[in-house]
Amino acid sequence: MGGLTQQAAVQELATARKDILRIATAGSVDDGKSTLIGRLLFDSKAVFEDQYEAIERASRGDYVDLALLTDGLRAEREQGITIDVAYRYFSTPRRTFILADTPGHVQYTRNMVTGASTADLAIVLVDARKGMLEQSRRHAFLASLLRVPHLVVAVNKMDLVDWSEEIYEQIRDEFTAFATKLDVPDLTVIPISALAGDNVVTRSANMPWYEGTSLLHHLEHVHVASDRNLVDTRFPVQYVIRPQTDAHHDYRGYAGRVGGGVLRPGDEVQVLPSGLTSTIAAIDGPDGPLQEAFPPMSVTVRLTDDLDVSRGDLICRPHNAPQVTQDVDALVCWMSDQPLRPRQRLAVKHTTRSVRAVVKELQYRLDVNTLHRQTEAEGGLELGLNDLGRVRLRTTQPLFVDDYQRNRVTGRFILIDEATNATVGAGMLIPPR
């Protein structure tokens, strides 16, 4: 770790990031995701008076519809559903939050993947009247698949089931049993009423049988700093800085965001794909020189040697390098109306590196409800909109990859249709068979 222990790095990471928690909400339609986020924003004093007055005028019922704080698109308001991923930001004295309100409809599963791909914590809402539905299982599985380290199941609308402890326990036990099939390191189940605010920001007097904390208290105290990989140094180069001014005549820096590990001046590093080694001369941040850099800091690294480094290259440790390969195995979420088929040609964007690829093999399509793997289909196997499947790609140039389970930055990529420049798929790297 170059003189910085992992525990110290975790502590400094939490301080330097001002303790930001990225949250993705998910669940079935009308489970109350937007209302919950609106309640969090309102009760944490993150809503301006004019905003509140605007949604008060726009509300149709006998109460102020806090869901309108996140359902900003006109189409969403007309249908009463969330279509796109709506991002909102708020802070408490303890932590800063970035909320991604993701859609509930099955046809918008790809948007849920987008919102959860960078999340530290996922909230899956379950309507207490309906219990676990197909979408609840789908979103829990996707959160697990995307390696979201913390999962909160919010059993909403408890006011509509007379605050029943029995119903809560039934949903909790059912979800816990389902979670045993998934890779969920941290699962918490909280009964709430987003509309009334029970157990959202403060503990509810209507559910004295519940001995846990409120949702906001849990969000404020969940430990996420140690979830990031601080062992494997990964620094994808995004931009080469050459001011070529009189004040900085010989300045050559490599800018990017740290994807893993800890960088310090004096560390020996290796540059891929050239394989050449050098030493870090200095690390520059927005406010001047830094003694350490770690995820997810954006910094500029200067080396002691004048190497040929460009965008798409990766800086790592000589004895701890990622896999360099042109054959990629991945679990892909397909996001296009046109299906994905074998032999299809696409562009791949992995960290800061862009290459072309061909689909060598489509091994199976995954049913996220039953976890069944479909290996054959009449007319040939293909992935349709919102489908998940295992794919093998062959790229024109090497990629520097880690398994997604080990590093979410170097273990993910997007697929692009070169004809339209549209993002048509998102992939998570998995070990080859």
Domain ranges of the chain: 6-227, 235-316, 323-429
pLDDT of 152:
95
- Cα–Cα distance for residue pair 106/85, rounded to 1 Å: 14
Superfamily of domain 323-429: Translation factors (2.40.30.10)
Q: Which residue has the higher pLDDT, 54 or 209?
A: 209
pLDDT bracket for residue 419 (50, 70, 90): very high
pLDDT of 138:
79
Q: Which residue has the tokens 């409809």?
A: 105
Considering the chain, what percentage of its residues have pLDDT values greater than 70? Answer: 82
Q: Does domain 235-316 have CATH number 2.40.30.10?
A: yes
pLDDT of 245:
75
Superfamily of domain 6-227: P-loop containing nucleotide triphosphate hydrolases (3.40.50.300)
- Note the pLDDT tens digit of each residue in 175-214: 999 888 888 888 999 999 988 889 998 899 999 999 999 9
pLDDT of 202:
87
The three state secondary structure string of the chain is CCCCCHHHHHHHHHHHCCCEEEEEEEECCCCCHHHHHHHHHHHCCCCCHHHHHHHHHHCCCCCCCHHHHCCCCHHHHHHCCCCCCEEEEEECCCCEEEEEECCCCHHHHHHHHHHHCCCCEEEEEEECCCCCCHHHHHHHHHHHHCCCCEEEEEEECHHHHCCCHHHHHHHHHHHHHHHCCCCCCEEEEEECECCCCECCCECCCCCCCCCCCCHHHHHHHCCCHHHCCCCCCEEECCEEECCCCCCCCCCCEEEEECCECCECCCCEEEEECCCEEEEEEEEEECCEEECCECCCCEEEEEECCCCCCCCCCEEEECCECCEEEEEEEEEEEECCCCCECCCCEEEEEECCEEEEEEEEEEEEEECCCCCCEECCCCCCCCECCCCEEEEEEEEEEEEEECCCCCCCCCCEEEEEECCCCEEEEEEEECCCC
Query: Are domains 6-227 and 323-429 of this chain identical in fold?
Result: no
Angle between helices 134-145 and 165-179 (to 10 degrees): 50
99, 166, 100, 153: which is closest to 127 by C-alpha?
Answer: 153
pLDDT of 31:
73
pLDDT bracket for residue 323 (50, 70, 90): very high
The Cβ of residue 104 has, within 10 Å, a number of other Cβ atoms equal to 27
Mean pLDDT of 37-50: 72
Mean pLDDT of 134-146: 82
- Note the pLDDT tens digit of each residue in 393-416: 999 999 999 999 899 899 999 999
Yes or no: say if 412 and 429 are a contact pair by the CB < 8 Å rule.
yes
- Note the pLDDT tens digit of each residue in 303-313: 999 999 999 99
Which of 5-9, 131-135, 193-197 is least confident? Answer: 5-9
pLDDT of 159:
92
In Å, how far from its chain's centre is CA 145?
11
β-pairing, 276-285 vs 268-272, is antiparallel
Query: At residue 15, does pLDDT exceed 50?
Result: no
pLDDT of 36:
83
Classify residue 430 as exposed, middle or buried by CB count within 10 Å of its CB (0-12, 13-18, 19+). Answer: middle
Q: Which residue has the tokens 């690294």?
A: 301
